[in-house]
């Protein structure tokens, strides 16, 4: 589906227009082959680059060709069909238009489209920066949610089980996808700023620098959470190993303590003559011997800190 949005500095609202005009924002959501051909004809775009946006695993980068700048990035998306937690977005900055191509409905653009955030489609660079800002905000919100989940599980370190470990693996996957999306995007933003392939006013340069700083901080924070997860998993593994060793040690000690009376009882249970077998004190003597030997074993275990 292709929708064309238009708003100048003099307009009070963002409106949709039926045809492409100068200063228009063209938003294509999962475009069909016929719709793509229409875009190619209207905008004289590089077909190969636009079709790259239909690859769900396309990596962030930027290209400059035919007088237009093609900026590929990714945004957080709860994708159930693909094994990834981000989705691709292509932003094309032409001479007189802005084109965005996505394969799924992009929630991050809702504030721009419903009027919550004021945009002017005739200001191409500023519109591009606003789109990128919404993506960064969505990554930051996702990072906050993931960090809270990790800290919640860390608080119950000694009770971490299978469910918590599965959550850690899921969070690690999300964080890795986040870094894989934000890091190359930030590099592409730096390249665009240095190469001056798009028109940047002083205010735009400041916004771009703030955007790159936010992305850098986002990557650093994501890596910090990854380190926290690794530390928690290492600590949990050490605790589980120590607990297992203590239980094995306890069971071993109990086995030894139970073996002493078992051996003595077995000997006196044999159907052969034994010392004192006809004496009335024999049972008490055997029982006392068992108690003494068990007590001696306990003393040895305590002395060697095996208990």
> CA 131, 198, 110: angle at the middle one, nearest 5?
10
Q: Which helix (H) or strand (E) holds 87?
A: strand 86-93
Q: Which helix (H) or strand (E) holds 236?
A: helix 202-268
Residue 9, pLDDT score: 81
Whether the pTM exceeds 0.85: the reply is no
List of residues 6+ apart from 274 with CB closer than 8 A: 267, 268
Residue 113, pLDDT score: 82
DSSP state of 269: T
pLDDT at 83 over 70: no
Task: State how far the Cα of 211 lies from the Cα of 173, in Å rounded to an integer.
Answer: 24
Q: What is the pLDDT of residues 205-241, one digit of tens each?
A: 888 888 889 889 989 988 888 888 788 777 777 777 8
Query: Which is more confidently placed, 265 or 100?
Result: 100
Task: State how far the Cα of 251 lies from the Cα of 280, in Å rounded to an integer.
Answer: 36
pLDDT at 284 over 70: yes
Q: Going by DSSP bridges, is the β-strand pair 2-6/24-29 parallel, antiparallel, or unpaired?
A: antiparallel
pLDDT at 245 over 80: yes
Q: Please say whether the beta carbons of 129 and 56 come within 8 A.
A: no
pLDDT at 280 over 80: no
Question: Which phi and psi (to 5°) does residue 207 adopt?
Answer: -65, -40
Report, as an integer, the average pLDDT of 179-193.
87
Q: Please say whether the beta carbons of 258 and 250 come within 8 A.
A: no
């Amino acid at each position: 589906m292709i929708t064309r949005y238009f708003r100048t500095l003099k307009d009070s609202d963002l409106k949709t227009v039926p045809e492409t005009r100068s200063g228009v924002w063209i938003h294509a959501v999962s475009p069909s082959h016929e719709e793509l051909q229409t875009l190619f004809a209207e905008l004289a775009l590089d077909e190969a680059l636009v079709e790259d946006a239909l690859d769900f695993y396309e990596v962030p980068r930027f290209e400059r060709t035919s007088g237009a700048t093609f900026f590929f990035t990714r945004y957080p998306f709860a994708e159930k069909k693909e094994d990834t937690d981000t989705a691709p977005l292509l932003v094309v900055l032409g001479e007189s238009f802005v084109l965005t191509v996505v394969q799924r409905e992009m929630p991050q653009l809702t504030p721009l489209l419903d009027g919550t955030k004021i945009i002017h489609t005739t200001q191409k660079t500023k519109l591009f920066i606003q789109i990128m800002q919404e993506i960064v905000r969505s990554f930051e919100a996702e990072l906050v949610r993931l960090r809270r989940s990790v800290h919640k599980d860390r608080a119950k370190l000694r009770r971490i089980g299978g469910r918590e470990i599965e959550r850690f693996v899921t969070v690690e996957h999300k964080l890795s996808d986040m870094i894989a999306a934000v890091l190359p995007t930030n590099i592409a933003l730096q390249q665009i700023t240095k190469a001056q392939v798009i028109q940047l006013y002083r205010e735009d340069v400041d916004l771009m620098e703030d955007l790159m700083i936010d992305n850098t901080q986002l990557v650093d924070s994501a890596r910090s959470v990854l380190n926290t997860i690794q530390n928690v998993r290492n600590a949990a593994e050490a605790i589980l190993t120590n607990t297992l060793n203590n239980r094995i040690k306890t069971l071993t000690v109990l086995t030894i303590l139970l073996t002493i009376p078992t051996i003595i009882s077995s000997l006196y249970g044999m159907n052969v003559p034994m010392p004192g077998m006809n004496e009335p004190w024999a049972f008490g003597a055997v029982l006392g011997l068992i108690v003494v030997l068990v007590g001696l074993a306990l003393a040895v275990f305590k002395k060697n800190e095996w208990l």
